[in-house]
């Protein structure tokens, strides 16, 4: 293969990834509904026909963006969890969630949470996809880790679903803040260090999970 042919082949192979990166950037800048397919193609340096060759609709393009970003992060978390079956569950939870969410926060994928929440009422199919492909696998991954801690006696018996929501929702809010108030220059100084925030948040969660005297429920 000649050097020019090799360059063209690499360009062709990289094209889907370039389209997804261009789509996410434009969806964040303009919103999903306001972004035109030809704008995505132009940003990626390809024709509109090439875009439709890979992604037949704008909705399918957004789904692919979500798969390319958040689903990849969940898959890496699941792989790491499978490799680290031993060791204290609390330590693994802190390490896994910190690495996972700092990676999400510092990448363009952190904008997807805001994007989905602002567009879901007009595009319910995207909401169903997000629930099925992101929320449920992520919930299962974290919930399985919490349940492991309970089964081993490292955590006291708790409602696992509630714990998962308690862990995840503040982290989602961290990403929402970045792409709303933070994007407008009103960033809270306490939220500009995601790793520190996440570790402190998980410390609060874990102190409530560790075995100890039965506490009186707060009503």
The per-residue pLDDT for range 49-108, each reduced to its tens digit, is 999 999 999 999 999 999 888 888 788 888 887 777 778 999 999 988 888 888 888 888
Last residue of a domain, one of 38, 56, 74: 56
Instruction: With a cut of 80, say whether residue 146 has pLDDT above it.
Output: yes
CB-CB neighbours of 38 under 10 Å? 11
Domain identity same for 66 and 49: no
Q: Give the percent of the chain with pLDDT over 70.
A: 84
Domain for residue 174, yes or no? yes
Instruction: With a cut of 90, say whether residue 212 has pLDDT above it.
Output: no
Domain that holds residue 171: 58-209
Q: How confident is the model at residue 154 (pLDDT cuts 50, 70, 90)?
A: very high
CATH number of 51's domain: 1.10.10.60
Q: Are 104 and 175 in contact (CB under 8 A)?
A: yes
Domain identity same for 105 and 72: yes
Instruction: With a cut of 50, say whether residue 218 has pLDDT above it.
Output: no
Domain for residue 214, yes or no? no
Q: Kindly state the tokens that stand for 119.
A: 């567009």
Last residue of a domain, one of 35, 56, 77: 56
Domain for residue 159, yes or no? yes
Instruction: With a cut of 90, say whether residue 177 has pLDDT above it.
Output: no
**In whole angstroms, how far apart are CA 97 and each of 48, 85, 89, 100, 210?**
39, 16, 12, 5, 18
Instruction: With a cut of 50, say whether residue 219 has pLDDT above it.
Output: no
**43-57, 66-80, 127-141, 160-174: which has the minimum mean pLDDT?**
66-80
Q: Which residue has the higher pLDDT, 217 or 105?
A: 105
Q: Kindly state the tokens that stand for 44.
A: 């990626």
**87-91, 120-124, 146-150, 180-184: which has the minimum mean pLDDT?**
180-184
Domain for residue 215, yes or no? no
Q: Domains in the chain: how many in total? A: 2
pLDDT for res 188: 62
Q: How far apart are CA 159 and CA 175, in angstroms?
A: 25
Instruction: With a cut of 50, say whether residue 213 has pLDDT above it.
Output: yes
pLDDT for res 198: 87
Instruction: With a cut of 80, say whether residue 215 has pLDDT above it.
Output: no
Domain for residue 39, yes or no? yes
Instruction: With a cut of 50, say whether residue 109 has pLDDT above it.
Output: yes
The mean of the pLDDT values for the chain is 83
Domain identity same for 50 and 128: no
Domain identity same for 146 and 183: yes
């Amino acid at each position: 293969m000649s050097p020019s042919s090799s360059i063209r082949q690499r360009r062709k192979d990289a094209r889907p990834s370039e389209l997804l990166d261009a789509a996410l950037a434009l969806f964040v800048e303009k919103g999903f509904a306001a972004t035109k397919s030809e704008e995505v193609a132009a940003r990626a340096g390809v024709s509109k026909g090439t875009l439709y060759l890979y992604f037949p609709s704008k909705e399918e393009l957004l789904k692919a963006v979500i798969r390319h970003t958040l689903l990849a992060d969940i898959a890496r978390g699941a792989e790491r969890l499978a490799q680290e079956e031993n060791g204290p569950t609390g330590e693994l939870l802190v390490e896994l969630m910190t690495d996972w969410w700092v990676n999400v926060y510092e990448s363009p994928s952190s904008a997807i949470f805001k994007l989905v929440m602002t567009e879901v009422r007009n595009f319910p199919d995207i909401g169903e996809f997000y629930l099925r492909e992101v929320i449920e696998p992520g919930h299962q991954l974290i919930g399985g880790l919490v349940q492991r801690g309970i089964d081993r006696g490292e955590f006291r018996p708790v409602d696992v679903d509630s714990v998962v929501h308690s862990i995840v929702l503040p982290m989602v809010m961290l990403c929402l803040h970045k792409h709303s108030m933070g994007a407008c220059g009103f960033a809270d100084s306490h939220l500009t260090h995601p790793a520190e925030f996440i570790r402190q948040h998980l410390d609060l969660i874990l102190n409530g999970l560790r075995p100890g005297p039965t506490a009186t429920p707060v009503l």
